[in-house]
Amino acid sequence: MMATILTQPLKTRYAALQAERERNWSAAQLEANARQRRLLIERFDPAAIAQPGDLLPDFVFAEVDGGELTLSGLTKGGSALFIFFRFAGCPACNIALPYYAEALYPELRQRDILLVALSPQQPDRLREIKDRHQLPFLVATDADNSLARHIGIAFEPDDRSSPPPAGWIGEVTGTGTWELPQPAVLHLGANRAVRSLQVSPDWLQRPEAEEILQKIA
């Protein structure tokens, strides 16, 4: 039976973030942010992402605590859920991951489903978000967005300066590229088979824990 979720909904948390930005950002900043999210929604093609039943290669990830993870190892004892996020300093990700720790992780643990958060950011920089929120699940690097590309969720922002300015995405992540994953929830079963993939082209409209649990039931 699904546990009752008492934490503040994710959409409420994102509404508060947007309200704060409307108080502090310029009109140009707000429009640029909204435009990028709007374009990603318009371009999203559900048929172009990994589909249920697809078998994935055995990708390898560097875990922030120093270990190495593989898809085959993570799904050996059952299924695993992967939360794709952008990088440790991303405001929207700093809302989503602690929310999932509160509202999603306990139920997954009861179901013996592993939870892994993946970002292209280098492990030494990525550890910051795990420590900041004391995340109880695995956090690891999807180097070069390898898995994100394979399942069709990688993208590059439209507004890319050349040469890149100080503090640009590639500098922050340590990847040297603009490429990021769209926030997504990937559920894998035995033999690395895709069971479901929920993608959020608008990074301020990520699924609530209850939606994810219903999807993987």
- Per-residue pLDDT of 27-48, as tens digits, reads 999 999 999 999 999 999 999 9
Q: How confident is the model at residue 6 (pLDDT cuts 50, 70, 90)?
A: low
CATH hierarchy code of domain 10-216 = 3.40.30.10
Query: Which tens digit of pLDDT belongs to each residue from 111-156?
Result: 999 999 999 999 999 999 999 999 999 999 999 999 999 999 999 9
Report the share of the chain in percent with pLDDT over 90: 90
**What is the domain partition of the chain in residue ranges?**
10-216
- Cis bond leading into 46, ω under 30°? no
Which tokens sit at 105? 């992780």
pTM of the model: 0.94
pLDDT at res. 5: 44
pLDDT at 4 over 60: no
Distance CA 83, CA 115 (A): 8
pLDDT at 51 over 70: yes
Which tokens sit at 55? 């078998």
